[in-house]
Amino acid sequence: MLISRDEWEDAFNGIYRGGVEFGMPMKNHTSLAIGGPADVLVSPEDPMSLKNIVLMCRRKNVPFLPLGGGSNILVRDSGIDGVVINFKAFRMIQVIREEGDDVELFVEAGVPLQMLVNFCRDKGYAGIEGLTGIPGTVGGAICGNAGSYGCEIKDVILSAVIMSADGRLDRFAAGDLQFGYRRSAVKPTDVVLNANIRLHKDDTNAVAGRTREFMAEKKNTQPISERSAGCVFKNVEGVSAGKLIDEAGCKGMKAGGIEVSSVHANFFVNKGGGTASDYLHLMHKVVLMVGRKFGVVLEPEIKVIGRG
Ligand SMILES: Cc1cc2nc3c(=O)[nH]c(=O)nc-3n(C[C@H](O)[C@H](O)[C@H](O)COP(=O)(O)OP(=O)(O)OC[C@H]3O[C@@H](n4cnc5c(N)ncnc54)[C@H](O)[C@@H]3O)c2cc1C
């Protein structure tokens, strides 16, 4: 444990507004329902409290982790050292400009991505229908350039405001965020606060129709009602990692409570009682089998976090 309740209270008394929980099991905050306790989980209510946390963590040499929806991370069973920051108070969506067909929105990092997709569907704003069905928050989506069906969040980002570890706020244009396949220039010590995104006005029924079609496709091809963290591994030079895993004969393989999904082989699902060590064990087995069959090394898409 890097920060105790007493140390927290000494350091943050009077400079922080928001929720604080000590020893909160991260399994309550991840889509896999896996993960040991975080020393401290905070839910700052305003940007100043958030800044004070970041600055105090730096001063005391305590690590912090910005947490979105927990839908792309595997938290180890031993938990997380330091401070986990929850963005549930940062959920504003605002229309900044609507001129002709052009639309610009201001979106805070804690907005659930599906709240944004639904907002755009209801208003007839086109451009992010392909992100339908991706869980998590706008902050998490920017960090990993979330995408599907040929659409990535980078396609609509104009700029993002990021706080660095020294508390400085900078607005970065999309071009400076170096988006790539499931990656961006956002560093683990950066905090994404908000973004401006550009969409275009379309017929509301047309946007709603595309959103519905993408959702139906997701339901057919992904185990979306089960506990997972989405794709475990990145595709290899355009070849689907799921196809490689399937053809290496891994579908249905298990380690403890974790199973390679029979619906989509690149999803590992927690069938109940699965642990991070089961998950890592299964990853290892799958990497070996795919390596043996195809001579390629699968790279994780999920982020493994926590005390090693
Ligand atoms: C059923 C299912 C389907 C999925 N389908 C897809 C898909 O089609 N395409 C796809 O790309 N992904 C998919 N995913 C994976 C996941 O939903 C996305 O990667 C999502 O964008 C992660 O967002 P999150 O808020 O949950 O991030 P988290 O998992 O909470 O965090 C991911 C990383 O982002 C960082 N982060 C989060 N918020 C911030 C912030 N405000 N500032 C700085 N850093 C931050 C975290 O520190 C962490 O390093 C799927 C997952 C599931 C469970």
Residue 251: which CATH number?
A: 3.90.78.10
- Which of 71, 80, 138 most suits a substitution to test ligand 1, by most atoms within 8 Å of the C-beta? 71
- 36 ligand 1 Cβ < 6 A: no
Radius of gyration of the chain (CA): 20
Same domain, 130 and 246: no
Same domain, 217 and 97: yes
* Ligand 1 mean position, distance from CA 94 (Å): 22
Tell me: the pLDDT tens digits for 233-280? 999 998 999 999 999 999 999 999 999 999 999 999 999 999 999 999
Same domain, 210 and 284: no
Domain count, the chain: 3
Q: Is 236 part of any domain?
A: no
Q: Is 234 part of any domain?
A: no
Residue 217 has a pLDDT of 96
- 65 ligand 1 Cβ < 6 A: yes
Same domain, 131 and 197: yes
CATH code for the domain of 67: 3.30.43.10
Same domain, 281 and 216: no
Which amino acid is residue 77, in one-letter code?
A: D
Domain end, chosen from 70, 86, 102, is at 86
Which residues carry out catalysis?
182, 231, 301
CA 37 to each of CA 70, 77, 199: distance values in angstroms, whole numbers, following the listed order: 14, 8, 40
- The β-bridge relationship of strands 169-173 and 102-108 is unpaired
Same domain, 60 and 98: no
Give the closest residue to 122 by CA, choosing from 144, 140, 103, 137: 103
Residue 4 has a pLDDT of 85
Domain residues for the domain of 79 are: 5-86
Residue 11 has a pLDDT of 84
Q: Is 275 part of any domain?
A: yes
Tell me: the pLDDT tens digits for 167-197? 999 999 999 999 999 999 999 999 999 999 9
Residue 97 has a pLDDT of 96
Residue 2 has a pLDDT of 76
CA 14 to each of CA 8, 11, 154, 224: distance values in angstroms, whole numbers, following the listed order: 11, 9, 38, 42
Domain end, chosen from 86, 115, 150, is at 86
Residue 146 has a pLDDT of 97
Same domain, 173 and 104: yes
- 242 ligand 1 Cβ < 6 A: no
Distance CA 213, CA 215 (A): 5
Phi, then psi, of 201 in degrees rounded to 5: -75, 135
Q: Is 228 part of any domain?
A: no
Q: Is 272 part of any domain?
A: yes
Mean pLDDT of 156-164: 98
Q: Is 226 part of any domain?
A: no
Domain end, chosen from 86, 105, 131, is at 86
Q: Is 36 part of any domain?
A: yes
* Ligand 1 mean position, distance from CA 11 (Å): 30
pTM above 0.75, yes or no: yes
Tell me: the pLDDT tens digits for 42-68? 999 999 999 999 999 999 999 999 999
Give the closest residue to 163 by CA, choosing from 195, 189, 137: 189
Same domain, 78 and 104: no
Percent of the chain past pLDDT 70, that is, above it, reads 100
Same domain, 204 and 138: yes
Q: Is 231 part of any domain?
A: no
Same domain, 97 and 217: yes
CATH code for the domain of 153: 3.30.465.10
Same domain, 123 and 207: yes
Same domain, 123 and 53: no
